[in-house]
Amino acid sequence: MIPEEPAILLSFINLKLRDFYSDVDDLCADLDIDKEELFGRLEAAGYYYDEEDNQFKYKG
């Protein structure tokens, strides 16, 4: 189960990416998270995935 609140979700996902996963595909597969849903929820909150840094960042 992943957090519902966007700021907490962002923190949770970025922590997992930093400490446990080499990319978002590995994270989604291991945690059984729908990648499109994850991206949609974070993009709706103003974030995008930076592949080079392997983290979600604020668009602004």
Tens digit of pLDDT for each residue in 48-59? 999 999 999 999
Q: Is residue 47 part of a domain?
A: yes
pLDDT band, very low/low/confident/very high, at 1 (cuts 50, 70, 90):
confident
pTM of the model: 0.94
Q: Is residue 1 part of a domain?
A: no
Q: Is residue 52 part of a domain?
A: yes
pLDDT digits 0-9 by tens, 11-31: 999 999 999 999 999 999 999
Tokens of 15: 């922590």
Domain that holds residue 45: 6-58
Q: Is residue 50 part of a domain?
A: yes
Q: Is residue 26 part of a domain?
A: yes
Number of domains in the chain: 1
